[in-house]
């Protein structure tokens, strides 16, 4: 009596559409894992996001610096012969607090993107990549393996659960990066560029107003005028300049606040909300796949 072991009987094989589709999918995932194409694309997108976060962080710190300088600049006036010292830059205090918090958000976002890159590089390690490819080939082969007394039916169990988990671990980071980049390009990029340009312009405008204010003060200090009429004229002129300076700083603060809030929303969505939503969808998909019906029907003898 011959041993009814496992053989690969091609002639008497009964084709199944589901079995064919799963085989193609497994071999395709194995090829993608071994080739590293997905990893390269995902890493390129992660680098772009990382650079955006670094640039935005640098702009936020630069704006914080020029605002801090403007806040400490004193303006001396002598209305009616009485000396008064003002700090017009203090009008920027609320936006400076917001920019400081924004810089912390950008630091957290940059760190999160760096961790994603590290996670992607670990899971893209050649040993793991090729190991998963071999695993995919083995599982695909089992779908076509039959006994002499009937088909080997693979039902949802440890084999498929391990396969789905390995696929998620292997491709989660690069797929997340590509999906995140797609969302950014389609919906967020125009707002990001406009808000970043707005913060850069705000930094330049604060510096310009600060330089103009120092120029006026220097010109007034260089004059040696002691008669009262000249003092009253100079005091009135300084008050007009100060009012215009505070108005301009107030406008800058208003625009900078709006742009900073827009960037905070963009980076919180990209580095926190979207990754969590993506992982939640992946977990639900894995559970559904793991609890699916048997792969391939049991053949008739």
pLDDT of residue 45: 94
Contact 45, 61 (CB under 8 A): no
**CA–CA gap between residue 266 and residue 184 (Å, rounded):** 9
Q: Six-digit token pair at 206?
A: 């604060």
In order, the DSSP letters of 219-249 are HHHH----SHHHHHHHHHHHHHHHHHHHHHH
Residue carrying the six token digits 């990209």: 270
pLDDT of residue 93: 79
- Residue 176 CB coordination number (10 Å): 21
Contact 295, 19 (CB under 8 A): yes
Q: Strands (DSSP E) along 45-160, which ranges?
A: 75-77, 84-86, 146-147, 150-151
**CA–CA gap between residue 228 and residue 90 (Å, rounded):** 30
Domain count, the chain: 1
Q: How deeply is 86 buried, as exposed, middle or buried, from its count of CB atoms within 10 A (0-12, 13-18, 19+)?
A: middle
Contacts 24+ apart (CB under 8 A), 213-216: 213/73, 213/75, 213/88, 213/241, 213/245, 214/73, 216/241
Q: Which domain holds residue 24?
A: 12-290
pLDDT of residue 232: 45
Does 251 reside within a domain? Answer: yes
Residue carrying the six token digits 């009987």: 9
pLDDT of residue 294: 39
Burial 107-145 (b: 16+ CB within 10 A, else e): ebbbebbeebbeebeebbeeeebeebbebbeebbebbbe
**CA–CA gap between residue 109 and residue 127 (Å, rounded):** 30
pLDDT of residue 82: 45
Does 1 reside within a domain? Answer: no
- Residue 214 CB coordination number (10 Å): 12
| CB within 8 Å of 158: residues ≥ 6 apart | none
Spans of the chain, pLDDT less than 70:
1-16, 72-91, 146-158, 160, 213-243, 289-301
Does 6 reside within a domain? Answer: no
pLDDT of residue 22: 81
Does 296 reside within a domain? Answer: no
pTM tops 0.85, yes or no: no
Q: What is the DSSP letter of 14?
A: P
Inter-helix orientation angle 228-268/189-222, to 10°: 160
Q: Which residues pair with 150 in a beta bridge?
A: 147
Please give the distance of CA 134 from its chain centroid, rounded to a whole number. 33
pLDDT of residue 56: 93
């Amino acid at each position: 009596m011959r041993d009814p072991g496992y053989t690969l009987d091609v002639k008497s094989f009964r084709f199944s559409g589901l079995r064919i589709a799963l085989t193609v999918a497994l071999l395709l995932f194995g090829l993608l894992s071994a080739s590293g194409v997905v990893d390269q694309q995902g890493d390129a997108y992660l680098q772009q996001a990382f650079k955006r976060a670094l640039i935005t962080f640098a702009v936020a710190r630069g704006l914080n610096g020029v605002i801090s300088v403007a806040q400490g600049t004193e303006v001396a006036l002598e209305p009616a012969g009485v000396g008064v010292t003002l700090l017009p830059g203090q009008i920027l205090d609320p936006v400076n607090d917001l920019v400081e918090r924004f810089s912390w958000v950008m630091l957290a976002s940059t760190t999160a993107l760096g961790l994603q890159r590290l996670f992607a590089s670990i899971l893209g390690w050649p040993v793991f990549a090729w190991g998963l490819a071999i695993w995919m080939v083995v599982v695909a082969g089992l779908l076509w393996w039959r006994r002499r007394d009937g088909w080997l039916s693979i039902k949802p169990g440890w084999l498929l659960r391990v396969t789905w988990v390995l696929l998620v671990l292997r491709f989660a980071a690069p797929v997340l990066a590509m999906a995140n980049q797609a969302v950014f390009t389609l919906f967020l990029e125009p707002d990001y560029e406009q808000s970043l340009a707005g913060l850069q312009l705000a930094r330049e405008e604060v510096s310009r107003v600060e330089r103009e204010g120092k120029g006026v003060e220097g010109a007034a200090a260089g004059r040696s005028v002691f008669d009262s009429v000249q003092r009253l004229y100079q005091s009135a002129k300084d008050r007009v300049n100060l009012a215009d300076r505070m108005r301009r700083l107030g406008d800058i603060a208003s625009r900078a606040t709006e742009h900073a809030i827009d960037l905070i929303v963009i980076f919180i969505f990209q580095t926190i909300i979207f990754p969590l939503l993506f992982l939640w969808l992946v977990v639900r998909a894995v559970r559904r796949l793991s609890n699916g019906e048997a792969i391939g029907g049991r053949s008739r003898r």
